[in-house]
Amino acid sequence: MDTRTCQAGGGTRLAGIGRGGGGAASGGKATIGPLRGQSPDVGTCLDPCIALCGTMREIDESHIGAEALEESGRLGYEFYRSIGSPTRIVAPMVDQSELAFRRLCRRYGSNLCYTPMYNSKCFAVSSAYRKSNFDPHPEDRPLIVQFCGHDPALLLASAKFVEKECDAIDLNLGCPQGIARKGRYGAFLLEEWALLRDIVSTLAKNLSIPVTCKVRLLDSVEDTITMCKMLVAAGARIITVHGRTKEQKSKATAGCNWDAIRRIKEALPVPVFSNGAISSLEDVERCLRETGCDGVMSSEGVLERPGLFSDNVSTVTGLKMSQDDIVLEYIDLAKQSPPHSRGRTSVPCLRGHMFKCLFTAVAVRTDLRARLTKARTLEEMEELALAVREARLADPESFDEEKTWYRRHTMPHTSDEWGTPQALWAAQAEVVAEKRLRDPGPEEVGLGDSIFGEEEGAGDY
């Protein structure tokens, strides 16, 4: 994702899209006037049931209307069925769930994909940002576009640009990274309930497509249920729950709380997707059984195994493919979007994917890892994938499939093997450091407004 084109200043206000107005073309100018459901003050809620309170501590279920919940549930399942009742979902991931990767995952069993998270301030005001990031394609449906932000007007302006080219708009309430705290979005909005209600109702009342939300757990499951009901009553048609709190991230990642997700699913009238602790097709099936959710979303698991939802069996050929075969297929899809075209796969993005997909090779073979960090073109990436295939066929026993990038959170800390968390993080840090040296991000070049996570990929384990 290229954030260098975003030069939006703080407090940006747009004016001109009337009530129920159509979406603007990608290169046009979006403006917003009076909005249905939006408060005069962004942080103030007009709903008489919620106007009394601004934070989660002051809201309980008596403030949430049963009729609104019932109607949202009916519309939520109507929408869910209209897109084929998807159960295998690719998560929104910063700089990772781009078009070529989504197309690849659809070939391996995914039946719903999300775009990467887009910064609503950048998307609303910068045509260059939109053109370099949003990439509609006829094969890429159903598709949900995710935005982050805290300003209802900017979020709506952004959504208006894409509402004709996707199936729903998702609000990111799950990003736990420090950049989200600075930008006041993601999981750091989870206690600003009046503002969340304002954002969701503004989008729901002014868009022609549904609004969905992706959240993390609060400290209390009961509070999480109440918050989700508030979002549903405000107009959210699907809720995705990542089964960890915002503090449980990176090296502090804990087990995913499927029981909490089950309780949330049982309490809500709308479709619920479970996110977290998905690394195999068996995990998908077990999660569906244990949580009762309508769908399962994978983030980091599918980054490492794009064929996760079909156990690497191609829906095109019916054949089970190796990791290096799938990487070569991904590179072929990336080549279909030239480097400077809309929907392109950048070399840093491809490098990040290859590091994860080929981790069992590059973690042990320092020569292959060095080639990965130095590769500058799609052709060099392809040569590396072919070299990995050759090495695997020559010495299959050296590729331990149990020691994977995904398992860096769960490997025992007592071993001195390369597969310990310390070694996994060290190997990843080598690639990330090289990437930053060659491809400095927005923060390093001083442009600000970065929405990159604090670790490569910024996925949800």
Instruction: Please list the active-site residues.
Output: 175
Return the exposure string of 338-355: e unless at least 16 CB atoms fall within 10 Å of the residue's CB, then b: eeeebbbbbbbbbbbbbb
- What are the distances in angstroms from CA 440 to CA 250, 294, 433, 443, 452? 22, 40, 10, 8, 12
| Tokens representing residue 118 in the block | 């887009």
Nearest to 147 by CA among 101, 194, 86, 189: 189
User: Which of 144, 137, 130, 142 is CA-nearest to residue 99?
Assistant: 137
For residue 189, count other CB atoms closer than 10 A to its CB: 22
Rg (CA), the chain: 21
Q: How far apart are CA 167 and CA 209, in angstroms?
A: 6
Q: Among all chains, which residue has been given the structure tokens 């006829």?
A: 138
Q: How far apart are CA 447 and CA 427, in angstroms?
A: 28
- Under a CB-based contact definition with an 8 Å cutoff, are residues 214 and 171 in contact? yes
**C-alpha to C-alpha distance for 3 and 143, rounded to whole angstroms:** 22
The amino acid occupying position 255 is G
Round to whole Å and give the CA distance between 3 and 112: 25
Cα–Cα dist 148/117, whole Å = 7
For the record, the structure tokens of 431 come out as 């690639």
Question: CA-based angle 157:158:162, to the nearest 5?
Answer: 115
